Amino acid sequence: MTSQTYSCQRCHLPLTIDASLTNLSRAQSHLLTSQRMGYGSSKSTQPMGSEPFIPEDRRRLMDTVNNTGDKSSVMKWSGQDGGAESFVILPQFEEQDNEDGDDDALSEDDSENKMLSKRIKTLSAIFNLLNSKGELDYPVCKDCAQFLLASMQSQYDKTSKERDVYIQFLQKLQNKQPPMVSKSEESLNEITRLKKQEDELLKELQDLENEKDDIDKEILAMEKELEDITLQEQEFLKEENAKAIEITEFIKERDTITAEYEFNLLQLEKLRKTNVYNDTFHISHDGPFGTINGLRLGSLETIRVPWQEINAALGNVVLLLATVVTKLNIKLQGYRLKPMGSTSRIEKYERDITNASKPKVTILEAFSSGEYQIERLFNHSKLDNCMVALLDILSQVAEKLREFDSSIDIPYKMNKDKIGNLSVRLSSKTADEEWTNACKFLLTK
């Protein structure tokens, strides 16, 4: 067997080459693969196995020799003189004999390899020769060969039937009677008429072709115009897209600015509604007490408030008034606020009779550390005077606010040491309750 693997060219399955092909003799191989012989050639018009063509001059020479009976030129198979002429070695076989002679000098392995190579070469030559003589690719397996034979047989039968039909038709034409002379003249006239009609149609066709050429030229011109319009449209679309992008960017920028503007408006509105004084000085009430930043201002018999808390509340009141006076740029008449936390003071300026050039300054303390009973012993204590001064300062601030906005109204009427008809002096008879309510009116509505 050969070491080369062959596969069917139709189903692509591996093939086993028959021994009759792998064990071909040199003569058989030459007979199958020779391109010089005309047998089976696709270009030969002779049937397979027919006698090869012999030129006429050589045929006459051969006949002359046979007729003369001279045997001297015929090859002899016996005798010493005829030994050299017993056979003729052709050049192509002489080369093969030389190769065989070389094979004797090779080793056994080399001889097998060379023989195997020759077999493969012979098989390849056979398959290539078969491929060149037909539309099929070789080698093929047995099943595919049977299928191809069946297909060829079917095609052959079909072709035979067509051939029979053509033969029958040809016989009908041959058996048909020749046309009459009159019919021939009519046919000639018809041919003349058709020829004339053909010329007219050809002329019309020529006119139509000329018209078609003109139309083609117009179409080319219109296509060129359309191409120009398309280019202009593309340029226009590019410009439009650029403008659209620019407008989009502008809209985005506008929306961003609008959003920032609206946000700033909201922040501004929030800031307008935000009262720093309400956040810094949170004024409210806790039951009967007015409070500032959670510090109660006042005290009752039933609810005693430490003086530290009261002093801190008074310090916040002084700080609030000082802040408002500074913010509104109010010039107080006869007073100067000194916010100092729980020990805040108010400077009261009065005319000094002894020294008219320099006012008399009285320090009013906005805090106290004594008990209630001791405070009541002094009708003009510093705390009472400070409370009266706070009420007077608050009246001046209210008057200034009315100058800014006449619609502003003070919830409680203030007159000297009273607010809402309640005295802010701690030394009065109903000191605890009245003073506490007066302090509440001082802070809240």
Residue 173 lies inside a defined structural domain of this protein: no
CA torsion, ordered 113, 115, 120, 121, to nearest 10 deg: 110
CATH number at residue 371: 1.10.418.40
Check pLDDT > 60 for residue 267.
Answer: yes
| Residue 351 shares a structural domain with residue 362 | yes
Residue 142 lies inside a defined structural domain of this protein: yes
CA angle 349, 352, 356 (to 5 degrees): 110
82 or 275, higher pLDDT: 275
| Residue 266 shares a structural domain with residue 293 | no
Encode pLDDT of 27-50 as tens digits: 777 777 765 444 444 444 444 444
Residue 178 is predicted with a pLDDT of: 60
| Residue 336 shares a structural domain with residue 210 | no
Return d(Cα 216, Cα 305) in angstroms, integer: 113
339, 319 contact by CB (below 8 A): yes
| Residue 256 shares a structural domain with residue 352 | no
Residue finishing a domain among 274, 306, 340: 274
Residue finishing a domain among 274, 304, 320: 274
Residue 191 lies inside a defined structural domain of this protein: yes
| Count of the separate structural domains present in the chain | 3
| Residue 437 shares a structural domain with residue 335 | yes
Residue finishing a domain among 251, 274, 297: 274
| Residue 390 shares a structural domain with residue 419 | yes
Domain that holds residue 118: 1-29+104-166
Return d(Cα 203, Cα 192) in angstroms, integer: 16
* Mean pLDDT for the stretch of residues 269-282: 80
Residue 265 is predicted with a pLDDT of: 92
| Residue 13 shares a structural domain with residue 154 | yes
Residue 118 lies inside a defined structural domain of this protein: yes
| Residue 236 shares a structural domain with residue 132 | no
| Residue 189 shares a structural domain with residue 147 | no
Check pLDDT > 80 for residue 183.
Answer: no
Residue 69 lies inside a defined structural domain of this protein: no
* Mean pLDDT for the stretch of residues 432-441: 86
Check pLDDT > 90 for residue 282.
Answer: no
| Residue 313 shares a structural domain with residue 397 | yes
Residue 133 lies inside a defined structural domain of this protein: yes
How big, in percent rounded to 5, are the helix, strand and coil portions of the chain?
60, 10, 35
Residue 92 lies inside a defined structural domain of this protein: no
Q: What are phi and psi of 224, to 5 degrees?
A: -65, -45
The overall pTM is greater than 0.85 = no
22, 12 contact by CB (below 8 A): no
Residue 4 lies inside a defined structural domain of this protein: yes
187 or 344, higher pLDDT: 344
| Residue 109 shares a structural domain with residue 143 | yes
Q: Which among 261, 279, 277 has a CA at the least distance from the CA of 269?
A: 261
How much is the mean pLDDT over the chain?
78
| Residue 20 shares a structural domain with residue 119 | yes
Residue 427 is predicted with a pLDDT of: 65
